[in-house]
Amino acid sequence: MHPVQEFVILLAGFLIVVVAANQIARLFQMIKLPIITGLLITGIAAGPFIFRLIPVESKSSLYFINEISLAYIAFAASGELYLKELRSRFKSIKWMTFGQLAVTFIMSSVIVYFLADYVSFMKDMSPSAKIAVSILAGTIFVARSPASAIAVINEMRAKGPFTQTALGVTVLKDFLVIVLFALNLSIAVTLVKGGTLSFAFVLVLVGELLLSFGIGYLLFQILKLILQLRIHRYAKAIYILAVGYGVYLLSHFVRDSTLEYVNNGVHLEPLLICIIGSFILSNYSKYRYEFLSIINEISPVIYALFFTLVGASISLDILFSMWGIAIVLFLVRLSSMVIGSYVGGTLAGDPPLFNRIGWMPYVTQAGVGLGLATVVAQTFPEWGNTFATMVISVIVLNQIIGPPLFKWSITMVNEGRQRAQSAAYEGVRDAIIFGLENQSVALAKQLGDHGWEVKIATLRTDVNMEDYPGLDIRIIEDLTKETFDNLEASETEAIVTMLTDNENLKICELAYEEYGTKDMIVRLNHHYNMQNFSDLGCLIVDPSTAIVSLMDHFVRSPQAASLLLGMQEGQDTIEIEVSDSNMHGIPLRDLHLPQDIIILSIKRRGQMIITHGYTRLRMGDLITAVGSDQSLSNMILKFEKKPSRSPGL
């Protein structure tokens, strides 16, 4: 078979495995593990040691995927290093980074060197080669995972000085790790080849770094030019990845050419070049938000490709033989991080609690560490694969244990802002509408006609209650928890906000964090604030598009639109919670509902379910149904919890 055909078949097969791995990895989220861990394990299973779906030769044939992914990882890491956002915590970030970088690197490197006799591939090495392995391992052990850190912070909705410091240190440390790795890789190459660290070597090394910085600035100009183009975002994403890969091709070309013509290879560090270009773009251009948006959009694809291939490249035979030393190295890294965090926090003057738990956010490792391990494997073919497998074993342990520790630390400093547990439904539908105006009054009356108990809360003080007969108007002084308690917000099913976006967001955050309010409906004022409300799970009504969308539905399906909006005489749409335990487990086909009732959907644990006759009900399900007023009333009696009969009656 022609080599091109073999490559196409290999690539197509690998892409099929990646698609499957991406779906399988999502199951790991159900047991609170990162999706990255799932991709690694799926890649291992698909590799040459278990199911053999990805052959052993794929590592070299598909290495270009590694290089594209590494360029992306560098772009993503430095793109988050935005200096303006880190100024308020710069002192803590600076000293914590110093403590983590210095203590972890020095302590890990020294211990790895003295453990050389217990590591199979290091036993027979020369002292200089052992030093090379030790400093490379120490460098990789410093690396963290910005992607995992951001995922945990978003999940916890964490906000505060501890969280801000953790994110700043994570991103800054990975930036410095890549610079440190570029230095140590050049030193390691010299030590392994038997060279000496002379003044001339140091001069060449400085020259290589300066050249990398210069090319990094040129990369910034190219990235800026791409972002200026008036083309589709996906086309820009492809160009950005192509330019990143081009940096690796340039690095290979410079090294091979200088080896051929001057007998002394010039080593440019592609990761360093990419991280410099991205850093300048993110901090000194107007394209930061578009660049980060594109990077975030393509991250699932890149991570699936990279981590699946890394998993398939792991040599399981070596992995099993090195678990003992991997656990030892894991404990060494953990100990060094505890010491480094305490030293850094003490120098920064952080609170004692921060110093005690300051190491917890930095345990997790992923993209950068794995990327550097693959670079070592490629640079030193004699023992690099064994080294990479040893390091990846430690990274897997860190990836499993790290995220729960970070979550725990956020909880301990009380910076998590997760949704509170909502109150149980007690048979009365109630809502609070914030804002007194014609629309809120009309909404309150309409909800009242459907059996809801509605309060209208207003900050206005010029309200004449006689103008609003039959309505429960509450004048409030502020938007605090005490005010919400007085409004009995803990027992409220729905909150509607019709104030300014800032006031609406304050209301929704309080309802989300303190009461876990089931439904929060927001009338949006400015479209650019939409994401803030989406993150809280709010139902958003955008006046600028709502009317157009409504008219569109009336044009395309007038009967369905009028039915769902309750405009048909005698017809309505309601949402019912299954609170009667007798209904649990019963299929819809066995409910014997009135003939004019149609069940549109069931919402279970936040997920919409497309129903059919064999769909079984569960306690807490939210059923959306349409039908006549009388039939819907009968349906409510069937699903809601029946009052218990008193003894003796």
| Complete DSSP assignment for 99-128 | HHHHHHHHHHHHHHHHTGGGSGGGTT--HH
Q: Which pLDDT belongs to residue 34?
A: 66
Residue 149 confidence (pLDDT) = 74
Higher pLDDT, 175 or 328: 328
Residue 556 has pLDDT above 80, yes or no: no
pLDDT at residue number 454: 92
What are φ and ψ of residue 298, in 5° steps?
-95, -5
Rounded to whole angstroms, the Cα distance separating 408 from 150 reads: 15
Decide if pLDDT at 183 tops 60. yes
What would the two tokens of residue 34 be?
A: 């990162």
DSSP-derived 3-state class of residue 410: helix
Architecture of the domain made up of 3-412: Up-down Bundle (1.20)
- Average per-residue pLDDT for the chain: 83
Share of residues in the chain with pLDDT > 70 (%): 90
pLDDT per position as a tens digit, 277-322: 998 998 899 888 889 888 878 888 988 898 888 888 877 777 787 7
> What is the average per-residue pLDDT within 151-178?
78
β pairing state of 607-609 and 598-604 = antiparallel
Of the pLDDT bands very low, low, confident and very high (cuts 50, 70, 90), residue 58 is: confident
DSSP codes, 415-426: ---PPPPPPPP-
Interval 250-261 mean pLDDT: 87
Residue 418: which pLDDT band, with cuts at 50, 70 and 90?
Answer: low
CATH architecture under which domain 430-547 falls: 3-Layer(aba) Sandwich (3.40)
What pLDDT is stored for residue 594 in this prediction?
Answer: 76
Q: CB–CB of 316/49 below 8 Å?
A: yes
Sheet containing 430-434, strands listed edge to edge, beginning at the edge strand earlier in sequence: 472-475, 453-458, 430-434, 494-497, 519-523, 539-541
**Residue 644 pLDDT level (bands cut at 50, 70, 90):** very low
Q: At what angle do helices 288-313 and 233-262 cross, to 10 degrees?
A: 60
- Quote the pLDDT of residue 648: 37
Per-range mean pLDDT, top range of 84-93, 197-206, 214-223, 362-371: 214-223
pLDDT over 90 for what percent of the chain?
22
Residue 568 above 70 pLDDT?
Answer: no
What gap in Å lies between CA 395 and CA 37, rounded to an integer?
10
Residues 6+ apart with CB under 8 A from 408: 360
The 3-state DSSP class for residue 582 equals: helix
Region 567-639: CATH code: 3.30.70.1450
**Residue 127: pLDDT over 80:** yes
Give the DSSP letter of residue 615: P
Q: Is the pLDDT of residue 643 over 60?
A: no
DSSP 453-504: EEEEEE--S---GGGSTT-EEEE-S--SHHHHHHTTGGG-SEEEE-S-HHHH
Q: What is the pLDDT of residue 114?
A: 92
Interval 103-130 mean pLDDT? 90
pLDDT of 106 reads: 93
Amino acid 647: pLDDT: 38
Query: What pLDDT is stored for residue 31 in this prediction?
Result: 75
Evaluate if residue 371 carries a pLDDT over 80: no
What's the pLDDT tens digit per position in 506-553?
999 889 888 888 889 999 888 778 878 887 888 898 887 777 777 776
The pLDDT assigned to 226 comes to 95
Q: Which of 196-205, 279-288, 553-562, 569-578 has the highest mean pLDDT?
A: 279-288
Specify the 3-state DSSP secondary structure of 348.
helix
Region of poorest pLDDT, from 70-74, 443-447, 641-645: 641-645
Q: pLDDT band at 398, cuts 50/70/90?
A: confident
Give the C-alpha separation, 3 to 594, whole Å.
67
363 burial (CB, 10 Å; 0-12 / 13-18 / 19+) is: buried
* CA-based torsion, 303, 304, 306, 307: positive or negative: positive
Rounded to two decimals, the pTM is 0.63
> CB–CB of 278/171 below 8 Å?
no
**SS3 sequence of 622-638:** EEEEEEEHHHHHHHHHH
Q: What is the mean pLDDT of residues 601-620?
A: 80
Q: Are the C-beta atoms of 372 and 143 separated by less than 8 Å?
A: yes
pLDDT band at 107 (very low <50, low <70, confident <90, very high): very high
All structural domains of the chain with their residue ranges: 3-412, 430-547, 567-639
Q: Which stretches of 535-644 are assigned E, i.e. beta strand?
A: 539-541, 571-577, 598-604, 607-609, 622-628
| Confidence at residue 456, expressed as pLDDT on a 0 to 100 scale | 93
